[in-house]
Structure formats: C-alpha cells, structure tokens
Structure 1
Amino acid sequence: MATSAPLLGKAAHSKASIFYGADEYLEELKKRYAHDHEIAALKNALPGEGDPNAAGVAQSNDKMLSVQKNNENRSLKTNRLFPTPNKPDPMPQNLAFLFTKITPEQMIYMWNVLTAIFCSQVLMVIGYCAALATFPDYWWTCTLCFGVPFSYIAIQNIYIDHDVMHGATFPVYEWQRFLTHPFADFFSLPWEEFVLEHNRHHASTVDLLIQGEFGWDPEEFHYALQQWAGPWSSNWYKYLLTVPFIPVIHFFGLNDTGSLFALEWWMHFPDEGAGGKCNKEFWSKWIPRRIKHNAFVLSLWACIWLLGTYPLGRPLSEGWRFMFTVSFFARIGYSAAWMFITNFTHSF
C-alpha cells in the first residue's frame, strides 16, 4: 500500500510545515485545475468519468481542447460513435481494484518517486564525472558502467511521468514540475504542456489503430511511418523505407519529451483567440512557463558541460564531450520508452 511506502510521511502537516499533507494537496489540486482549465477540459472530454478534482471546470469549445465530433456524437473521420466506458454494474469484487480512485497519499508518493528519479540521474552524472577523473585511462569502462544504467533509468523516468500525468497531474510543490524530464533533450515542453499534448493524443485517438479519429493527434507522424503503406503482407517492402527512421526521429527529439516535438506542439497550441487574435493567455501563461522550464533545462545542461571541463582537466571549450555522452545515453533510454509507448502499442 502507498500509505506504508518509505517516501511518504504519515503524520498530518500544519500550514507552517514545508511539507504538504494529503488534505492540503487535494485542496491545492482543485485550485490548479481551475487555473489550468485547459488540462481539466481535455481530461473531462476523455471517455470515462474524468477527474473528480476537475469537475468544476466547464467544457471548452477550443479546437485543441475538445473532441471533434458531429451532432450525433460521431467521429468526423470515421462516423463511429464516441465510445463510452463499459464499466460493470454491479461491480464484480475481483475487478473492483481496477476502478479504485487514487488517493491523495498515493499522489504525493508518486511525485516523491519522480523526484527521487531526478535526484538519482543527477548523482549518476556526478558519479560518472568522478569516475572519469579517477580512472582517466578507462573511458569505455566508466562510460558503459554509467551509460547502461542511465539509459535504463531514463526509461523508468518516462513510465513514471506517464503514471504521474494520469494519476497525479499537478506536482505537490511548484519546483517539482521542473524535474519531470529535463534530461530528455536540450529544450522541451513544460510539464503542463506535456500533460496537455498527451491528453490531446488520448482525446483524439481512443482506438489504438485509428489515429486522429476525434481530432488532431500530435503523434500522428509517428504512426504514418509505420502505417502509411497499408497492409503489411502486400506492402512490406515499402515499410523498409520508413520504419528504420522511427528510432532516428525519437533519438533527435520527435517524441513527447523532445525538442522537435515541442516545436510541433508550439505551432498548434494555444488556439487563436476570437477573430484570429492572439490567445489571451499566450503571453501571460504559456510564454513565461516555456521560458522558465527551458531556462532550468539549459542550466542543467550547462552544469553538465562544466562537469566535463575542469574536473576532468579539460578546457571550457571541450565540455561538449562529456555533455554529449550524457545526452547520448539519455536519448537512448527516452527513445526506447517512447518507441514502445507510441509505436509498439499502436501497431497491433
């Protein structure tokens, strides 16, 4: 049970405490949904009951924040009815755990785990630098001993990100939103937009094999590389031209936590205002978030650059050697995770 987990405190916390208690976090969660009404609107548009903490947010008519369907509740692309969850009633006892709502204590615990992953990544990079400084003649040994576990923890980072996104959308503390995926690329989407685009994907693609059925899906390009030519049996040779590029585009950042994907999303969101005017929250909400998030990301990579200089007896101009090695193994891990989530699960 999450309540007995080592990273989760059991005692109640006062307002003066530097730690949140479950009740305080739940109240803060409702305020966050009211402020980030875009996330609430998309979550409430998904099949199912939505997030009860976002229940007070009205439905949005913005194209990016709503499901695209006709007056008969059917897809504009396939004419299929928008699906509704087939929740058993009465609920069999052996299935009840699948529909149990996550508790505030479990939400806090999930963010603690995500924070621990970031701290582990930082310590691994520092340890790698120390190993190279201590054993300069064993570059390959030090690098592989660092790189393989670092790629693995990057994979776990994405799976924890995904669970936190759906189960505990907003961080317990403001600073935690910067720790979710800074090692993935040299710039990327802020946490809130990461959540938004992923929920946009779920709202658009409710069937794993029919992409963009209920609106634009930001991940459609990935699917095109593996599905554009039609049935595999008669078109297998065509896929030889496109499928090999899937790991390449992931490696260079065309995934949810990458730089190329961030550029794609920013070209679509937020929706323009009335009469083609700039969205009223573009400058007040979204631009500051993007600047703050990527300032943190760039600062992190600048520190990694510096670790690769004087501690290793190298000039400042050669810090890229250490930084690119760290980024290489990080990208392997993040790419592997996203290839499974995006391409593998949407290919059967």
Structure 2
Amino acid sequence: MHFPDEGAGGKCNKDFWGKWVPRRVCHNAFVLSLWAFVWLLGTYPLGRPLSEGWRFMFTVSFFARIGFSAAWMFITNFTHSLPWNEFLAQDPGRTWPVLHNVMALVLGGKHHWNEMLFHDVHHAFPNAVGTLSQRGRFHGWEKVHDPAAEVLHRGLWKPNGDEETQMQKTQKKRSLMMKQGK
C-alpha cells in the first residue's frame, strides 16, 4: 500500500489514479482470489460445509508466516554474518564443490545460490542490481555470477580515508581468490 510521493506543492502524484490505484486494486483482487481458493480447498475436498473453510485458511496462513519468518531469520542472520563472509573468502566453489552444488540444489538452482554468495553486492547496489536470483533466472546464473564477482573484485565502497573494516578486508580476500580461480 505504498503509493508514490506526492507531487509538487503537496498535490496528488499524476500517476496515482491512472497507474498506482489500478495496479493495487488488481494485486489485492488477485490475493483475495488466492485466499478464496484456499478457503474452498478447506471445504468441499475435506467434506466440510462452506462456512468451515476458515479452519484450513488459518492453518495455511499460520504455517506460511512461520515459514516466511524462518526463511527471513536464516537470510538475515546467516548471509549478513562475518563467519559466512569469511567462509566465502575461502572460495567454496573451488574448495567445497560438493557443498556448493548441494546448496544450489537445495535452494532451487545456482541462480538462487548466487543470492547467497553475493548478498553483499545486492546490498551495495539494491536499485541497480535488484535480486540476483531473479536476474539469474532470466539471464542464466553464470551471466550474473561473473559480473558480481567482478564488482566484488573492484570493491563495493569508495575509500573515504577510514581504516578498512573487517568485512572489506574479507571481501577483498574473497575477490582475489575468485580471480585466481578463473
């Protein structure tokens, strides 16, 4: 429900009624139809009356929220951790090829594994890069992996005179290992 910023002088954005409202109505109608379908799945296939579809719908909603929460905690606590980035600096693609391939399989493909490998690149350039897994889905995982490694090699942040952080040192080591592996 986040609409565009207001126009000049506090006026309504020119795209509000023509673009954003119709999109939000379509999106919410789609979501409503999905939940209606879940409600119906909890009735006739289970031999229940239409008025008891809420049981299945709330069960699905509850477990979907638990699954999303677990995934979010895993991503934020795992991919943002210093030990994970230090592990990546050891070039797991070369030193741990079985783990590398198993994780890609578990996550649903190497394009999703790129998201875990280069999560720092995503944070450095969120609007320019977006999600690496989505890019990999449409362009192939290697066409995303190699430029992300190059970005990492060039450095994610401009030097500002401060001492390099532990994360910057780890990323530099990681990119050198990746360059040597090519």
Higher helix share: 2
TM class, shorter-length: 0.3 to 0.5
